[in-house]
């Protein structure tokens, strides 16, 4: 393993042999509704064990990429971020025996006193091969994470440990902000090296796995950080909103997409977006994820319409957003009359780096997260949006009529019981 000490490489390889443990959205909410400092300590212990495993899996994969992709400067930068975070976590102090004893004594011992969490269901985006990829025994998450710790008085060291661990997590989260765009730059460097405009299926599948893992890592870290802060809104459990108002979030995405469109094309007349959604439709979700996905779809539709009719058109056909509520899913359909996509190009729309816009070169010191990064020229909008949908058991599909327009269907699981699609 290049660029790191032999001892650290050995530890990374050791952790990478352990399986990852998936958590569902509903489990996160059930656990985090009324957490005591003792329960948060249990969660800290879980993350202290789990995050190095997830980071190690990605370091090993980054190191073994073929055709010199693993030697691209930007890919090496990403690997260094993951190695530094791994090293920081494995060297973070373990919980002292005194704290362990105090929390153990406060843990509900009788089965009748324990708050059991709902079972996970396999994520539909995981293949059978992924689910059966390991024969290791994985301890129940009920035993590793979601212990019920009574809100009794605990030593002050418990809250101090939680605060210290959260500071470390926040540092790691900030370090990893530019991962998406930095890795995208690495693929640009790789394409230049090979003198090609496309990436092969091997690289495509790697990017899917890598970015899905990143979503999961940031979700666990963000949730733990927020649970350790004073809760300002009763509808929120960490970063998860138990009553996410779909109409409100979609309207915010509409407003933002129209502003970006008008600013980019310098339009006096911005295409109208018509929303059909029950005003009181709410479900359990992460609002930032929902906004991100809808914003990307609207941005694509606005661009297609404006470029088809021209930036000096007197009027544009409306873009329609329809939200339907089912027993299992909430589905958001975005329909435009932007000319559609040829059938020959449909297989490429999910490919990273597939874009009709000019691909920008990022400054080496660019440090923005994927929610603020200039991803239009990287062709990452649709592939990443589909990963965000699949992370909690949803999906994103496109149906297009060349010569007319495109319908995008964003399916969101309202059951919230799908485990993370880990690979």
Q: List, by residue number, the catalytic residues.
A: 292, 296, 299-300
Alpha helices in 196-286 (DSSP H): 201-227, 246-265
Q: How far apart are CA 170 and CA 192, in angstroms?
A: 35
Residue 229 CA to residue 174 CA, distance in Å, equals 17
| Angstrom distances, CA of residue 337 to CA of 27, 272, 334, 406 | 41, 12, 10, 7
Are the beta carbons of 238 and 32 closer than 8 angstroms? Answer: yes
Cβ–Cβ < 8 Å for 222, 239: yes
- Count of Cβ atoms closer than 10 Å to residue 419 Cβ: 21
DSSP-derived secondary structure for 47-59: HHHHHHHHHHHHH
DSSP secondary structure, 82-127, as one string: HHHHHHHHHTSPPPPHHHHHHHHHHB--SGGG--PPPPPB--TTS-
Distance separating alpha carbons of residues 314 and 268, to the nearest angstrom: 9
Lookup result for tokens 């153990």: 104
User: What SS3 state is found at 290?
Assistant: helix
* Crossing angle of helices 37-63 and 97-106, rounded to 10°: 120
Look at the alpha carbons of 182, 186, 192, 195 in this order and tell me if their dihedral is positive or negative. Answer: negative
Closest CA to 62 of 46, 87, 81: 81
> If 0-12 CB within 10 Å is exposed, 13-18 middle and 19+ buried, where does residue 121 land?
middle
| Token representation of residue 368 | 């923005």
Whether 249 contacts 290, CB under 8 Å: yes
Supply the Cα-derived Rg of the chain in whole angstroms.
Answer: 23
Please classify residue 344 by burial: count the beta carbons closer than 10 Å to its beta carbon, then call 0-12 exposed, 13-18 middle and 19+ buried.
Answer: exposed
């Amino acid at each position: 393993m290049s660029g790191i000490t032999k001892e650290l490489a050995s530890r990374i390889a050791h952790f990478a042999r352990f399986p990852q443990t998936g958590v569902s959205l509903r489990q996160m909410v059930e656990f985090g509704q009324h957490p005591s400092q003792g329960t948060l300590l249990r969660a800290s212990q879980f993350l202290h064990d789990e995050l190095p495993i997830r980071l190690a899996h990605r370091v090993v994969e980054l190191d073994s990429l073929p055709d010199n992709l693993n030697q691209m400067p930007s890919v090496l930068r990403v690997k260094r971020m993951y190695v530094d975070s791994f090293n920081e976590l494995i060297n973070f102090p373990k919980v002292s025996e005194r704290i362990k004893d105090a929390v153990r004594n406060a843990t509900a011992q009788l089965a009748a006193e324990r708050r059991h969490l709902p079972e996970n269901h396999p994520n539909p985006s995981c293949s059978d091969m992924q689910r059966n990829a390991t024969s290791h025994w994985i301890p129940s998450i009920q035993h590793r994470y979601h212990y019920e710790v009574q809100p009794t008085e605990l030593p002050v060291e418990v809250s101090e440990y939680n605060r210290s661990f959260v500071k470390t997590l926040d540092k790691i989260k900030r370090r990893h902000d530019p991962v998406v765009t930095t890795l995208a730059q690495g693929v640009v460097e790789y394409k230049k090296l090979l003198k090609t405009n496309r990436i092969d299926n091997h690289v495509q599948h790697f990017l899917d796995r890598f970015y899905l893992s990143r979503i999961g890592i940031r979700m666990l870290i963000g949730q733990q950080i927020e649970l350790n802060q004073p809760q300002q809104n009763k509808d929120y459990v960490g970063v998860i909103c138990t009553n996410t108002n779909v109409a409100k979030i979609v309207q915010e995405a509409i407003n933002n997409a129209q502003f970006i469109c008008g600013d980019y094309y310098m339009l006096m007349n911005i295409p109208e977006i018509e929303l059909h959604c029950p005003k009181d439709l709410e479900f359990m979700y992460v609002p930032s994820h929902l906004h991100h996905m809808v914003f990307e779809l609207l941005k694509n539709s606005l661009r297609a319409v404006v470029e088809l009719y021209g930036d000096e058109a007197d009027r544009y056909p409306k873009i329609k957003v329809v939200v339907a509520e089912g027993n299992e899913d909430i589905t958001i359909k975005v329909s435009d009359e932007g000319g559609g996509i040829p059938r020959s190009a449909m297989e490429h729309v999910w490919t990273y780096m597939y874009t009709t816009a000019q691909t920008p070169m990022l400054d080496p010191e660019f440090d923005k997260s994927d929610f603020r990064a200039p991803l239009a020229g990287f062709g990452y909008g649709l592939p990443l949006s589909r990963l965000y949908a699949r992370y909690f058991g949803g999906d994103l599909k496109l149906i297009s009529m060349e010569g007319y327009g495109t319908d995008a269907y964003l399916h969101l699981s309202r059951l919230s019981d799908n485990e993370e699609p880990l690979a």
